[in-house]
Chain A
Amino acid sequence: AQSVAQPEDQVNVAEGNPLTVKCTYSVSGNPYLFWYVQYPNRGLQFLLKYITGDNLVKGSYGFEAEFNKSQTSFHLKKPSALVSDSALYFCAVLTTNAGKSTFGDGTTLTVKP
Protein backbone atom coordinates (compact mmCIF):
# COMPACT_ATOMS: atom_id res chain seq x y z
CA ALA A 1 0.00 0.00 0.00
CA GLN A 2 1.18 3.48 -0.76
CA SER A 3 1.14 6.32 1.74
CA VAL A 4 2.13 9.94 2.05
CA ALA A 5 3.05 11.84 5.18
CA GLN A 6 3.16 15.57 5.66
CA PRO A 7 4.63 15.91 9.15
CA GLU A 8 3.72 19.55 9.64
CA ASP A 9 0.10 20.66 9.91
CA GLN A 10 1.16 24.29 9.74
CA VAL A 11 4.14 26.21 8.37
CA ASN A 12 4.58 29.91 9.09
CA VAL A 13 7.11 32.08 7.29
CA ALA A 14 7.71 35.77 6.79
CA GLU A 15 7.28 37.26 3.36
CA GLY A 16 10.54 37.22 1.43
CA ASN A 17 11.96 34.30 3.40
CA PRO A 18 12.47 30.85 1.91
CA LEU A 19 9.84 28.23 2.62
CA THR A 20 9.86 24.45 2.83
CA VAL A 21 6.85 22.17 3.09
CA LYS A 22 7.83 18.61 3.87
CA CYS A 23 6.58 15.37 2.37
CA THR A 24 7.67 11.77 2.72
CA TYR A 25 6.20 8.79 0.93
CA SER A 26 6.06 5.03 1.01
CA VAL A 27 5.37 3.09 -2.15
CA SER A 28 6.47 -0.10 -3.83
CA GLY A 29 7.98 0.55 -7.20
CA ASN A 30 8.79 3.86 -8.79
CA PRO A 31 6.78 6.75 -7.44
CA TYR A 32 5.21 9.55 -9.37
CA LEU A 33 5.03 12.48 -6.97
CA PHE A 34 2.90 15.60 -7.12
CA TRP A 35 2.25 18.78 -5.23
CA TYR A 36 -1.13 20.49 -5.30
CA VAL A 37 -2.38 23.72 -3.74
CA GLN A 38 -5.89 24.33 -2.49
CA TYR A 39 -7.41 27.72 -1.83
CA PRO A 40 -10.54 28.09 0.32
CA ASN A 41 -13.66 26.61 -1.26
CA ARG A 42 -11.74 25.53 -4.34
CA GLY A 43 -10.48 22.29 -5.80
CA LEU A 44 -6.86 21.26 -6.04
CA GLN A 45 -4.52 23.03 -8.43
CA PHE A 46 -1.47 21.23 -9.80
CA LEU A 47 1.89 22.79 -8.90
CA LEU A 48 4.54 20.35 -10.04
CA LYS A 49 5.41 16.70 -10.45
CA TYR A 50 8.35 14.33 -10.36
CA ILE A 51 8.29 11.46 -12.82
CA THR A 52 11.90 10.71 -13.61
CA GLY A 53 15.15 12.50 -14.34
CA ASP A 54 16.48 15.54 -12.52
CA ASN A 55 15.78 15.38 -8.81
CA LEU A 56 15.03 19.10 -8.67
CA VAL A 57 11.70 19.85 -10.26
CA LYS A 58 10.47 23.35 -11.05
CA GLY A 59 6.79 24.17 -11.14
CA SER A 60 4.23 26.93 -11.14
CA TYR A 61 4.46 30.23 -9.25
CA GLY A 62 8.18 29.85 -8.51
CA PHE A 63 7.80 26.63 -6.54
CA GLU A 64 10.24 23.78 -6.82
CA ALA A 65 10.61 20.40 -5.16
CA GLU A 66 13.49 18.08 -4.52
CA PHE A 67 13.11 14.34 -4.90
CA ASN A 68 15.32 12.33 -2.56
CA LYS A 69 15.03 8.60 -3.16
CA SER A 70 17.18 7.51 -0.23
CA GLN A 71 15.11 9.56 2.19
CA THR A 72 11.84 8.91 0.32
CA SER A 73 11.10 12.61 0.47
CA PHE A 74 9.72 15.20 -1.90
CA HIS A 75 9.87 18.55 -0.13
CA LEU A 76 8.29 21.63 -1.66
CA LYS A 77 10.39 24.79 -1.65
CA LYS A 78 10.33 28.39 -2.70
CA PRO A 79 13.26 30.81 -2.37
CA SER A 80 11.16 33.85 -1.47
CA ALA A 81 7.64 33.48 -0.07
CA LEU A 82 4.75 35.75 -0.96
CA VAL A 83 1.68 36.51 1.15
CA SER A 84 -0.39 35.17 -1.75
CA ASP A 85 1.29 31.76 -1.31
CA SER A 86 -0.78 31.28 1.85
CA ALA A 87 -2.92 28.21 1.19
CA LEU A 88 -3.28 24.49 1.89
CA TYR A 89 -0.68 22.30 0.20
CA PHE A 90 -1.01 18.61 -0.55
CA CYS A 91 1.60 16.09 -1.54
CA ALA A 92 0.39 13.08 -3.52
CA VAL A 93 1.83 9.88 -4.91
CA LEU A 94 0.67 7.97 -7.96
CA THR A 95 1.97 4.54 -8.84
CA THR A 96 2.31 3.25 -12.34
CA ASN A 97 -0.91 1.84 -13.72
CA ALA A 98 -2.69 2.54 -10.43
CA GLY A 99 -4.47 5.57 -11.73
CA LYS A 100 -5.38 6.76 -8.28
CA SER A 101 -3.58 9.32 -6.19
CA THR A 102 -2.86 8.97 -2.50
CA PHE A 103 -2.71 12.29 -0.70
CA GLY A 104 -1.15 13.50 2.50
CA ASP A 105 -3.30 15.31 5.03
CA GLY A 106 -2.08 18.68 3.89
CA THR A 107 0.02 21.51 5.31
CA THR A 108 -1.36 24.97 5.85
CA LEU A 109 1.17 27.55 4.76
CA THR A 110 0.82 31.04 6.20
CA VAL A 111 3.06 33.79 4.89
CA LYS A 112 3.01 36.92 7.02
CA PRO A 113 3.88 40.39 5.68
Chain B
Amino acid sequence: DAGVTQSPTHLIKTRGQQVTLRCSPKSGHDTVSWYQQALGQGPQFIFQYYEEEERQRGNFPDRFSGHQFPNYSSELNVNALLLGDSALYLCASNRMGQEVSNQPQHFGDGTRLSIL
Protein backbone atom coordinates (compact mmCIF):
# COMPACT_ATOMS: atom_id res chain seq x y z
CA ASP B 1 0.00 0.00 0.00
CA ALA B 2 1.76 3.11 -1.25
CA GLY B 3 1.81 6.06 1.04
CA VAL B 4 1.80 9.68 -0.05
CA THR B 5 4.11 10.22 -3.00
CA GLN B 6 5.47 13.53 -4.18
CA SER B 7 7.39 14.56 -7.26
CA PRO B 8 9.90 15.78 -8.01
CA THR B 9 12.16 15.22 -5.02
CA HIS B 10 14.29 18.27 -5.70
CA LEU B 11 13.83 21.27 -7.94
CA ILE B 12 15.93 24.32 -8.72
CA LYS B 13 14.34 27.40 -10.21
CA THR B 14 15.23 31.05 -10.68
CA ARG B 15 13.34 34.09 -9.50
CA GLY B 16 10.28 34.92 -11.56
CA GLN B 17 9.78 31.39 -12.87
CA GLN B 18 6.79 29.19 -12.26
CA VAL B 19 6.78 25.72 -10.70
CA THR B 20 4.35 22.80 -10.40
CA LEU B 21 4.67 20.21 -7.68
CA ARG B 22 2.71 16.97 -7.65
CA CYS B 23 1.23 14.75 -4.99
CA SER B 24 -0.55 11.40 -4.96
CA PRO B 25 -2.43 10.69 -1.75
CA LYS B 26 -2.33 7.48 0.22
CA SER B 27 -4.72 4.86 -1.07
CA GLY B 28 -8.20 5.42 0.35
CA HIS B 29 -7.60 9.08 1.10
CA ASP B 30 -9.60 11.81 -0.62
CA THR B 31 -8.24 15.00 0.93
CA VAL B 32 -4.91 16.63 0.19
CA SER B 33 -3.24 19.43 2.11
CA TRP B 34 -0.10 21.32 1.18
CA TYR B 35 2.41 22.75 3.62
CA GLN B 36 5.50 24.90 3.24
CA GLN B 37 8.37 24.15 5.60
CA ALA B 38 11.08 26.78 5.57
CA LEU B 39 14.45 25.95 7.05
CA GLY B 40 14.29 25.86 10.85
CA GLN B 41 10.53 26.24 10.98
CA GLY B 42 7.51 24.04 11.30
CA PRO B 43 5.23 23.31 8.36
CA GLN B 44 2.91 26.18 7.45
CA PHE B 45 -0.49 25.33 5.99
CA ILE B 46 -0.97 26.53 2.42
CA PHE B 47 -4.34 25.05 1.42
CA GLN B 48 -6.46 21.95 1.40
CA TYR B 49 -8.34 20.26 -1.44
CA TYR B 50 -11.35 18.02 -1.20
CA GLU B 51 -13.77 17.03 -3.95
CA GLU B 52 -11.60 18.96 -6.40
CA GLU B 53 -12.19 22.24 -4.59
CA GLU B 54 -10.04 24.38 -2.36
CA ARG B 55 -11.67 24.04 1.05
CA GLN B 56 -9.35 25.98 3.29
CA ARG B 57 -6.48 28.34 2.74
CA GLY B 58 -3.66 29.57 4.93
CA ASN B 59 -1.97 32.94 4.82
CA PHE B 60 -0.32 32.59 1.41
CA PRO B 61 -0.58 34.96 -1.56
CA ASP B 62 -2.47 34.21 -4.74
CA ARG B 63 0.80 33.23 -6.39
CA PHE B 64 0.18 29.90 -4.70
CA SER B 65 -2.58 27.94 -6.38
CA GLY B 66 -3.57 24.34 -6.64
CA HIS B 67 -5.71 21.75 -8.22
CA GLN B 68 -7.14 18.38 -7.34
CA PHE B 69 -7.97 15.78 -9.95
CA PRO B 70 -10.78 13.19 -9.97
CA ASN B 71 -8.30 10.53 -8.82
CA TYR B 72 -7.60 12.71 -5.73
CA SER B 73 -4.07 13.58 -6.77
CA SER B 74 -3.11 17.21 -6.49
CA GLU B 75 -0.81 19.87 -7.85
CA LEU B 76 0.66 22.93 -6.21
CA ASN B 77 1.56 25.79 -8.53
CA VAL B 78 3.66 28.75 -7.56
CA ASN B 79 4.02 31.71 -9.93
CA ALA B 80 6.56 34.52 -9.98
CA LEU B 81 8.93 32.69 -7.68
CA LEU B 82 10.74 34.64 -4.99
CA LEU B 83 13.89 33.74 -3.10
CA GLY B 84 11.72 33.35 0.00
CA ASP B 85 9.80 30.53 -1.65
CA SER B 86 12.78 28.25 -1.12
CA ALA B 87 11.52 25.54 1.20
CA LEU B 88 10.46 21.94 1.59
CA TYR B 89 6.92 21.55 0.29
CA LEU B 90 5.01 18.79 2.00
CA CYS B 91 1.85 17.11 0.87
CA ALA B 92 -0.40 15.38 3.37
CA SER B 93 -3.47 13.28 2.83
CA ASN B 94 -6.31 12.02 4.95
CA ARG B 95 -9.86 10.77 4.57
CA MET B 96 -12.52 13.39 5.09
CA GLY B 97 -15.38 12.44 7.32
CA GLN B 98 -16.79 13.31 10.69
CA GLU B 99 -15.41 10.36 12.59
CA VAL B 100 -12.03 10.44 10.99
CA SER B 101 -11.55 14.17 10.86
CA ASN B 102 -9.18 13.85 13.75
CA GLN B 103 -7.06 11.16 12.15
CA PRO B 104 -3.43 12.06 11.63
CA GLN B 105 -2.47 13.19 8.21
CA HIS B 106 -0.06 11.03 6.27
CA PHE B 107 2.84 13.03 4.88
CA GLY B 108 4.96 12.56 1.81
CA ASP B 109 8.70 13.11 1.88
CA GLY B 110 8.33 16.49 0.24
CA THR B 111 9.79 18.42 -2.66
CA ARG B 112 12.84 20.52 -1.88
CA LEU B 113 12.49 23.73 -3.91
CA SER B 114 15.51 26.00 -4.23
CA ILE B 115 15.22 29.42 -5.82
CA LEU B 116 18.38 31.00 -7.21
Whether B101 and A104, one on each chain, are in contact in the complex, defined by CB atoms closer than 8 angstroms, is no
Q: Does A72 contact B (CB under 8 A)?
A: no
Mark A residues whose CB is within 8 Å of B. 4, 32, 34, 36, 41-46, 49, 51, 90, 92, 94, 96-106
Whether A46 and B104, one on each chain, are in contact in the complex, defined by CB atoms closer than 8 angstroms, is yes
Whether A43 and B4, one on each chain, are in contact in the complex, defined by CB atoms closer than 8 angstroms, is yes
Q: Which chain A residues lie closer than 8 Å to B4 at the CB level?
A: 43
Whether A99 and B48, one on each chain, are in contact in the complex, defined by CB atoms closer than 8 angstroms, is yes
* Cβ < 8 Å to A, chain B residues 49-64: 50, 55-56, 58
Whether A99 and B55, one on each chain, are in contact in the complex, defined by CB atoms closer than 8 angstroms, is yes
Whether B41 and A99, one on each chain, are in contact in the complex, defined by CB atoms closer than 8 angstroms, is no
Q: Which chain A residues lie closer than 8 Å to B70 at the CB level?
A: none
Known A-B contacts A94-B102, A100-B33; the reply to A44 vs B40 at CB < 8 A is: no
Q: Does B65 contact A (CB under 8 A)?
A: no
How far does the Cβ of A10 sit from chain B's closest Cβ, in whole Å?
11
A34 to B48 Cα, complex, angstroms: 19
Q: Which chain A residues lie closer than 8 Å to B41 at the CB level?
A: 105-106
Whether B102 and A98, one on each chain, are in contact in the complex, defined by CB atoms closer than 8 angstroms, is no
Q: Does B42 contact A (CB under 8 A)?
A: yes
A41 to B92 Cα, complex, angstroms: 16
Whether A99 and B42, one on each chain, are in contact in the complex, defined by CB atoms closer than 8 angstroms, is no
A45 to B4 Cα, complex, angstroms: 12
How far does the Cβ of A34 sit from chain B's closest Cβ, in whole Å?
6
Q: Does B105 contact A (CB under 8 A)?
A: yes
Whether B42 and A90, one on each chain, are in contact in the complex, defined by CB atoms closer than 8 angstroms, is yes
How far does the Cβ of A60 sit from chain B's closest Cβ, in whole Å?
11
Q: Does B110 contact A (CB under 8 A)?
A: yes
Considering only CB atoms, which chain A residue lies closest to B44 in the complex? A103
Whether A96 and B101, one on each chain, are in contact in the complex, defined by CB atoms closer than 8 angstroms, is yes
